[in-house]
Structure 1
Amino acid sequence: MVLKLYAGARVSGGSAVVALVLALKKIPYEYILVDMANKENKSAEHLKRHPYGQIPVLDDDGFILYETRAICKYLENKFPGQGMRLAPAMTDVKGQALFDQAASVEVADFYRPMLKVVQEVVFNKMMGRPTNQANLDDGLKDFGSKLDVYEQLLAKQKYTAGNELSLVDLYHLTYAPSLEPAGVNILQSESRPNVKRWWNELIGLPAWVQLKGEGYKHVAGLAAGTTTGV
């Protein structure tokens, strides 16, 4: 049975990251639209899949899984030899420990401060609310201080969990790509050349560019091998 990915119409958030992993690992899947605008995510049917009424959700022949990072790790563990390897082998104890360390850092020291900024410059605008400048300034200061540490780490290694691209790097692609279109270029600052180099590589991944440009349906076909370009 082909995997089913329940996601919204917009290529963003965790759904986009899961779709990217599916494409990089060349895993066939069916894209099923959850109409967020009409609150389909809060329907009784969807709440059976995700008790919090969110996306993404993965259905693997009746095995239902939600939460982006859990889905991505599941895909890597189930298909370790397919497409691109995106995590250390389970037998690599130290590699797994460094992967888990980097994954924890991504949540605590990137995602959370980044989301404060996205809330002000992206989400508030989408909801028709004004930007709270004090909150934005505080968010930029906090996020910038975390990126200063990223700069030090990425000066010593190519990616966040070592010298190989991994799921942890891809986790950073939830909402951070929306910052530059909103006029916040903190991830491409010349003052942090290693962060800039790393970030430009992530957003320049061919599979990511195609996903953003052509949507989930295209990448579902890409994963299944009906198109090329990953």
Structure 2
Amino acid sequence: MVLQLHGFPTSTCTLRVAVVCKEKNIPFDFTLVDLLTGEHKKSPFTDVQPFGQVPYIDDNGFVLYESRAIGRYLATKYASQGTPNLVPADPKANALFEQAASIETANFDVFASGLAWELRFTKMYGGETDEKRVATLIASLQAKLDAYDVILGQQKYLGGNDVTLADLFHLPYGSVIVSIGVNEFDKRPNVARWWKDISTRPSWLAVKNGL
């Protein structure tokens, strides 16, 4: 049975899973969960995902949600195909990967997703942008990317010299903030080189505009 991906076509977290599938050459069938009608907030979706958030996968009866957990599962299960070492097996390499993955969660996602919400999604739902919060988020992101530039001046990718899930996890929200005019990547040479590398990968180009 082909992997089933349940999500919304342009959802950042859904695309985070889709890009991993493409990197690992994993075929999947996509099932639309209509966020616009609130399908994700009621049964039968919440019977599977009690938080009412997309996506989840069904891998021949094994159901899993949370996009980063799904990414780790797929990269590990299909380690022998597609891009190697997205989750390194060597203990030291794996520790560096987990360090990089933690950096993405704590030092990038919180600021990039906040900016995406304030500058795009709030307006979509009829709200008003909190300009003070935007300024704070941008200042915080700038400081974090200064640290990224130091790390990426010493190695090709965030977890070492091979691309890992930690790099790919940046793609959905990174692309959103670039599209709304917050392009802090190009202001730092090492970050700019890294972002160009990961954001032009065929896997991301195949899914970035939606499923």
| Shorter-chain TM-score range | over 0.9
Report 1:1-230 matches (<5 A).
1-10=1-10, 12-90=11-89, 92-189=90-187, 192-213=188-209, 215-216=210-211
Contact 1:125 1:131 in 2 (8 A): yes
* AA of the residue aligned to 1:37: L
- After superposition, give the CA deviation of every residue in 1:134-171 in whole Å (9 maximum; x if it has no partner): 11111111110000000000000010100011111011
Q: For 2:121 and 2:133, how far apart are their aligned partners in 1?
A: 13
Greater alpha carbon shift after TM alignment, 149-158 vs 28-37: 28-37
1:219 — aligned with what?
none
CA distances 1:180-220 after superposition (whole Å, capped 9, x unpaired): 2212111222xx1111111111211122112124x42xxxx
Higher mean Cα deviation, 31-40 or 124-133? Answer: 124-133
Q: CA deviation at 1:39?
A: 1.1
Runs of 4+ in structure 1 over 6 Å off? none
Q: TM-score, structure 2 length as denominator?
A: 0.95
Unaligned runs of 5+ in 1: 217-230
CA distance in 1, matches of 2:124, 2:183: 19
What secondary structure is seen at the aligned counterpart in 1 of 2:171?
coil
Taking only aligned residues, the RMSD between alpha carbons, in angstroms, comes to: 1.3
Residues 91-121 of structure 1: per-residue CA shift (max 9 Å, x gap)? x110111111111111101111222222221
In structure 2, what is the Cα distance between the partners aligned to 1:86 and 1:50?
29
Cα offset, 1:88, TM superposition: 4.5
More displaced 10-residue stretch of structure 1: 94-103 or 171-180: 171-180
8 Å contact kept, 1:2–1:60: yes
Aligned counterparts of 2:87 and 2:62: Cα–Cα separation in 1: 24
* Range with bigger deviation, 142-151 or 119-128: 119-128
Percent identity of equivalent pairs: 39
Q: TM-score, normalised by structure 1?
A: 0.87
Report the residue type matching 1:29 in the other structure.
Answer: F
Is residue 108–residue 141 contact of structure 2 (8 Å, CA) maintained in 1?
yes
* Residue range with higher mean Cα deviation, 65-74 or 173-182: 173-182
How has the CA–CA distance of structure 1 residues 52 and 39 changed in structure 2, closer, same or farther, with 3 Å as cutoff? same
Does structure 2 retain, via aligned residues, the 8 Å contact 1:3–1:59? yes
Contact 1:118–1:176 (CA<8 Å) still a contact in 2?
Answer: no
- CA separation in 2, counterparts of 1:30 and 1:14? 16
